[in-house]
Every structure is written in C-alpha cells, then in structure tokens.
Amino acid sequence: MLEELEIAELKQNARKIRKDIIEEVYRAKSGHPGGSLSIADILTVLYFKEMKINPENPQDENRDRLVLSKGHCSPALYSCLANRGYFKVEDLKTFRNINSYLQGHPDKNKVPGVDMTTGSLGQGLSCSNGMAIAGKMNKKDYRVYCILGDGEIEEGQVWEAAMAANKYKLDNLCVIVDNNNLQIDGTIEEVMSSYPIDEKFKSFGFQIINIDGHDIEEIVKAFEVAKNVKGKPTCIIAKTIKGKGVDFMENQAGWHGKAPNEEQYNQAIRSLERD
C-alpha cells in the first residue's frame, strides 16, 4: 500500500509537470498542451516511482525504457526528465526554440534520458518490441513502457506490432493507451473509432488493465500487476481527460496543438494552483 505522504508527493510532482507543460508551450508559442496534460499523472508515476532509471547514467544498459510513441506530447516528457535530473529545469524555457535541443518531438541523440526518437505516429510499439526482444535475448530484467494515443492506434502498424508482441510473449512490455477520447479533428468516434480498445488488445493476446489515468493509486497498482504478468504483454487502458488540470482546456479538441496567449496562460496557471 502507498503511504499518504508518497501519494501526496506524486500528486505534487504531477502538478509541477502540468505547470511546466503550460510554461513550455506558452514560451514557445506552439506545441501540444492537451495530450501532454492528460498523461502527466502516468508519466509522474513512471519517472518518480516505477521505472528503474539513473539520471547520472542515462545509457545504463540495465535501465527501464520508455517510448513516448505520441511524441508530440514531449512537453510532459521533458518536464519529467528535467525534474528527475537529466538536464537543467531552466532549459525547459528553450522548448521549440530554433537552437534548442528540446525539439517539438523528442530526439534520443540530443536529449538525455530519451530512449527513442518519436513523432511519426504509430511506430512506437514496433520500437518497444525491439527493445523488449533485445532484453530477453540479452537476459536483462529491464522493462519497456510504451505510451500510445487513442487516436494514434488508428494506425495499422500498431496492430502489426501488437501481433508481434504476443507472438514473442513479451511479458517485459507494458503498453499504456492514453484514452482521452479526443484527437486533432474531434472525438475518436467521429474520426475513426478504435473502440472497444480493451477488447481489441485482448484479442491480440494482451493482458488488459482498465484504470482511471488520473488516480495515482490506480496507476501504481496497475504497474504492479503488469510486472507480475507472465507469458504475454500487458496493455493498460488509461481513461483520461484531455487538458486535465486546466479548466478551460479540459475535453476541448481545440487545445490539441495550440499555445495559450498571455491571458490564457495566466488563467491556466491559476487553474493549476487552485488544484
């Protein structure tokens, strides 16, 4: 069981991540706040509790790996990495600047702690499979986490990779689907429904765990269950809210890829501080 203090610390870290997301996108005048805010709690649990990582040795061959397949949500990932000590927090202010190493999509050759360069949607699970297979071949006990968007899984490559994950019994692989039900053009149902997501992954041989993607305790427990699944990969379907934490951004597809102006920025920070 989690101690109340530990839960409180994780929640506080998630709030910090959300503030950083707003700061990054506001300063850059571009970026993707909606989907970044929806995965803040999940990434917080991964980087501040769950994952076996060492910021002082980012390339440790025994480390756990994370692939942010929905790479446009890099503001959330960068904040986690900075606050875990991979690089200076103040560098977040350079997000998307022309000379910054913190590009709109994460680049593993430039950003310490990034395990896979992502941005072209649908490819992350294939890359995660490769890492998980390598771990088994090399007899390593690291785990691989792959975060997919619910709009992203409209890509056919995701399902080819899902078949492969089952074939090779990748029980060291944990897929997390950020199910915020919105993508750039509207709801998932309106664009190209992928529902029922859990039944689809189950039919591809995955162990399924459904959770509230903003409940810290549920997230922690889901990862604990996933670690004990043997002989097949796990898929956590995390029900989330796009724009979570910023009242006027929540459940609004228009905030998929838009930066707030000064008035909206101040309103967003006040909303997060109230939370």
CB 214 within 8 A of CB 241: yes
Q: What's the farthest any 2 CA atoms get from each other in the chain?
A: 53
pLDDT at 4: 87
Sign of CA dihedral 155, 160, 166, 170: negative
pLDDT at 1: 56
C-alpha span between 51 and 65 (Å, rounded): 8
CATH architecture of the domain 4-274 equals 3-Layer(aba) Sandwich (3.40)
Burial class (CB in 10 A: 0-12, 13-18, 19+), 234: buried
C-alpha span between 69 and 160 (Å, rounded): 15
pLDDT at 274: 87
pLDDT at 3: 85
3-state DSSP of 105-138: CCCCCCCCCCCCCCCCCCCHHHHHHHHHHHHHHC
pLDDT at 47: 98
Both tokens of 252, joined, read: 């609004």
Rg (CA), the chain: 17
Averaged pLDDT in 10-residue chunks for the chain of 275 residues? 86 97 98 98 98 97 98 98 98 97 98 97 98 98 98 98 98 98 95 97 98 97 98 98 98 97 97 88
